[in-house]
Structure 1
Amino acid sequence: MTAPAGTASPVAATVRVGSRTPEGLTATAEVDILDSEPVFAGHYPGFPIFPGVCVLECVRRAAADAAPGVAPGPLTAVESARFATSVHPGDTLTLALTWHRVESGWRCDATAGTARGRAARVKLRFAAPGGPR
């Protein structure tokens, strides 16, 4: 997926949704982190690291592509983000997503990892469809 029209994304990579349960409450996705990512220019020259905000963007884009049933509304909050292992050029970021209904809409809990282990745990909150932004 690319960024929605009218928005900018710091990530050039394509997010590929892999598996998804029939009801859409769990899904997997992958993102190949290439050395051509624009964010690598000047981000730790000689030892590039994919910034945490870019990991969050990959999770957000995967969540949008793999949303259950009726797509949730816009992202309203990053409830938490815990980073554990860095992501580097050449890594494949593997995402596991689980959706939960919450009073204000939906929450997507995600883990992101590479061959070196878990890179992040993220909780994103989305408004109900047609709800407040």
Structure 2
Amino acid sequence: MTGASPLAGAVEVLPGDGEYATAARFTVDAAETVLPGHYPGFPIFPGVCLVECTHQGALATVPEKAEGVSLAAVESARFTGPVFPGDRVDIAMAWKQTPAGDWQCRAKLRTGRGPAASVRLRYAPRAAGEAAA
């Protein structure tokens, strides 16, 4: 089963600081389809889209030891600053394996104005026959 993404643009993978410290970036184009209905006249990039940016960045940078995982949970999401059309969102991710064998991705998202969000996602090994998301 594959999901649909609310993002029109692509998440760009950046060099990280090692196997478990990865990075990505997303630039919010004014043409993003989610913007017109999210505070008309004063568009703000929706928080769910920041979670999706993190998820896409995580899937693109998953550590080699964690390959073959799929999203199991959004453990937390905290939105700390607005993201507007034209903003570049930098995503710094830190990976760690949990005692249960799942993988956790903790992300800090920033714009040029400062912190925008912190997101924590949990990934579990895919079941036999489960397609990659």
| TM above 0.5 | yes
Q: Name structure 1 gaps, 5 residues minimum.
A: none
Name the residue aligned to 1:59. Answer: 54
In the alignment, is residue 36 of structure 1 matched against residue 31 of structure 2? yes
Name the residue aligned to 1:73. Answer: 69
Amino acid at match of 1:89: P
Amino acid at match of 1:16: E
TM-score, scaled relative to structure 1: 0.88
Q: Distance in 1 between matches of 2:68 and 2:102?
A: 7
> Structure 1, residues 15-61: CA drift from partner, whole Å, max 9, x if none?
11111345x21111110100000001221111100000000000000
Q: Distance in 2 between matches of 1:7 and 1:69?
A: 23
Alignment of 1:113-128 (within 5 A): 113-128=110-125
Equivalent residue for 1:90, pick from 86, 103, 112: 86
Q: Distance in 2 between matches of 1:120 and 1:72?
A: 27
Equivalent residue for 1:26, pick from 17, 21, 25: 21
Q: How many residues get paired?
A: 127
Contact 1:72-1:106 within 8 A present in 2 as well:
no
Q: Distance in 2 between matches of 1:111 and 1:21?
A: 14
Aligned-pair distance for 1:109? 0.3
Q: Secondary structure at the match of 2:64?
A: coil
The alignment-based identity, stated in percent, is 41
Say if 1:25 and 1:130 are closer, same or farther in 2 by CA, change over 3 A.
Answer: farther
Q: Distance in 2 between matches of 1:72 and 1:107?
A: 14
Name the residue aligned to 1:12. Answer: 8
Q: Name structure 2 gaps, 5 residues minimum.
A: none
Please tell me the root mean square deviation across aligned C-alpha atoms, in Å: 1.8
